[in-house]
Amino acid sequence: MRVMKNKKKMLETLVVLMLFVCVSVGFGRAPTEEPANTAEPVLITLTWANHQAYPWNPEWPVTTYIEKTLNINLEAEAIPFQEYDTKLVALMAAGNTPDIMLAAGGDAYAEGYKANLLLPVNDYLDQMPNLSNLLDERGGLSAVLFAAGEMDGNMYRFPCFSSMQADNVSVWVREDVYKEEGLFYPQTAEEMADTLLKLKELFPDSVGFTNFYGANTLINMSYSMFNVPRSPFSRFFVDTSTDKWVCEAATENVKGMVQYWRDLYDAGCLDPEIPSQDNAVAKNKMLHGLSMLFHGWISAIDQFRAAVADENPDYSIIPIGFPPSERYGGYSSAEQPFNVGETPLVMKSTATQGNFPKMLEFMDFLYSDKGIEVANFGIEGESFVWTDDGLAKVIDETCVNPETGGPSADYASKWGTTVWPWKTVYSRKFFYGTSPAVLEFYAREQARTTMRSPKVMMTPEEQEDFSAIHQPLNDYIGTEYVRFVFGQRPMSEWSKFVSECRAKGMDQVTDWLNQYYERQKAMAAK
């Protein structure tokens, strides 16, 4: 008993000691805003959606450079991106928000918008000259509001511009294999099917076309190939000939697209494992010849080649973009000129804070030429220099790609570029290399048109009713596409599928979209 008593006393003291340590270690204070003071750097708090491939690093030279130039102190909270919106919604509900919320997605935005918690950007344009200039370049404020504003005539997101480069994913072919077998690089979707069939003949053990991230990627990639426009409302788009919204499930193009992949699946040229494979398995197939034509990131060129350099020094891949269908036409995969999908939000309440002017200055800086340069390329003189051709050349030897002179994969994570991708100018060319194949790819893509249907404004109540029908329908259509392609449902049932969509509210959604679209056009005409 005595021993027990002593042991218990020890345990008690240990627990108390632990709690004491915890209290002293754990006591933190929430970041407070400090008034603008020319001597001391102003504190600005951010949240950042942390992706595993690209984790936030507080010591990034680019961030430090921006902090020094503007005399601010950026304090970022890195939240895993899958849970990002959840946390933002919770912070908004408690009124405990940071100054700037980067990359805020649909949920957080919708909550803030509904509750009038967000800062209307257009009201502060007079304090943001650089942003105003860029907006003027894109058609002026009214054009931008039509594309990205809300029903109340305000724009709540800080926009992200792009220079209409190509998408940073592509379809790849194995250059070495094609050269050896005397195959041609497909220029159209139909040619791509032919090469796939030929490859299957030559390599019966191969799985055919494969990709990362599942069946959705396959379907999404095919939109541009088969001339099915994209829009902010999945599965619906504006038919340019009639200027009316239609559902894609009712169109011939989509049927052709699904049929195309289904035929390839039946012929054994489409990897049946696409919906369920782990990324590691997919990568293995691409590296070791189980798939000679596949879909992946632009940066794969160097990485893949380095990964198999020992076993297969001839390995080489080149991007062919997304070959358009001859029959249905196709458009470019290039980015849209204007994006407000996952761009920064600021809370209305920050307008009364002491650090607000500095914060606007910071946001505006990133739209200035210097800001764009720093955010996209790095620090001139330290990490890169401008060549006479107007291209950027990496001078940091630890992360340069010897073949292209561009940055290696480690460049962005070391220097902190592409964190603030608010105007991506030539960053794609810079970042993903300037090998002839890549440059050709960009040129080809930019020569074609892009097609994206506009955003349609709705009130929060309308939005709720709309989503209640649209979201399940969207999910259903997506599921059925995959089931058709991967053999779970015969193509003979296609018309049945369309009538199922009708039964699930396809017409109601189309009517709503047309109604609101007309209203939006009428408002803009005034």
Per CB under 8 A, does 502 bind other proteins?
no
What is the DSSP pairing of strand 169-174 with strand 293-297? antiparallel
Min CB(194)–other proteins separation in Å: 24
Min CB(129)–other proteins separation in Å: 28
# residues contacting other proteins (CB under 8 A): 115
Please report, in angstroms and rounded to a whole number, the separation of the first and last CA atoms in the chain: 89
Cβ atoms of residues 171 and 323 within 8 Å: yes
Per CB under 8 A, does 488 bind other proteins?
yes
Quick one: 122 or 463, whose CB is closer to other proteins?
Answer: 463
Q: Give the distance, in angstroms, between the CA of residue 296 and the centroid of all CA atoms in the same chain.
A: 14
110, 351, 391, 491: which one binds other proteins (CB under 8 A)? 110
Quick one: 45 or 128, whose CB is closer to other proteins?
Answer: 45
Per CB under 8 A, does 267 bind other proteins?
no
1, 39, 447, 522: which one binds other proteins (CB under 8 A)? 1
Cβ atoms of residues 117 and 347 within 8 Å: yes
Min CB(164)–other proteins separation in Å: 15
Min CB(273)–other proteins separation in Å: 6
Under rule CB under 8 A, which residues in 306-345 are in contact with other proteins? 307-308, 310-311, 341-342
Per CB under 8 A, does 364 bind other proteins?
no
SS3 state at 385: strand
Min CB(524)–other proteins separation in Å: 20
CA angle, corner 274, sides to 272 and 280, nearest 5? Answer: 125
- H/E segment holding residue 85: helix 84-94
Under rule CB under 8 A, which residues in 116-155 are in contact with other proteins? 116-117
Per CB under 8 A, does 32 bind other proteins?
no
CB 358: neighbour CB atoms within 10 A? Answer: 23
Quick one: 90 or 197, whose CB is closer to other proteins?
Answer: 90
Min CB(256)–other proteins separation in Å: 20
Under rule CB under 8 A, which residues in 163-182 are in contact with other proteins? 167-169
C-alpha dihedral, 426 to 430 to 431 to 433, nearest 10°: 130
Per CB under 8 A, does 213 bind other proteins?
yes
What is the DSSP pairing of strand 72-80 with strand 160-162? unpaired
Quick note: the x/- pattern for other proteins over 218-237, rule CB under 8 A, is: --x-----------xxx---
CA atoms of 191 and 68, how far apart (whole Å): 54
Under rule CB under 8 A, which residues in 289-308 are in contact with other proteins? 290, 296-300, 303, 307-308
Which amino acid is located at 159 in the chain?
A: P
Structure tokens at 199: 């490859």
Per CB under 8 A, does 50 bind other proteins?
yes
Helix, strand, coil percentages (3-state) for the chain, rounded to 5, are 50, 15, 35
Per CB under 8 A, does 273 bind other proteins?
yes
Per CB under 8 A, does 95 bind other proteins?
yes
Per CB under 8 A, does 471 bind other proteins?
yes
Min CB(104)–other proteins separation in Å: 12
CA angle, corner 226, sides to 138 and 146, nearest 5? Answer: 25
Under rule CB under 8 A, which residues in 177-206 are in contact with other proteins? none
Quick one: 7 or 370, whose CB is closer to other proteins?
Answer: 7
Quick note: the x/- pattern for other proteins over 439-468, rule CB under 8 A, is: ---------------------x--xx-xxx
Give, in order, the Cα–Cα distances in Å from 222 to each of 173, 228, 502.
16, 8, 23
User: Residue written as tokens 């049946």?
Assistant: 272
Min CB(334)–other proteins separation in Å: 13
CA atoms of 181 and 202, how far apart (whole Å): 9
Quick one: 201 or 310, whose CB is closer to other proteins?
Answer: 310
6, 10, 13, 22: which one binds other proteins (CB under 8 A)? 22
Angle between helices 356-365 and 129-137 (to 10 degrees): 40
- Give the per-residue SS3 of 62-80: HHHHHHHHHCEEEEEEEEE
Q: Which residues contact 130 (CB under 8 A, 6 or more apart)?
A: 364, 365, 367, 368, 371
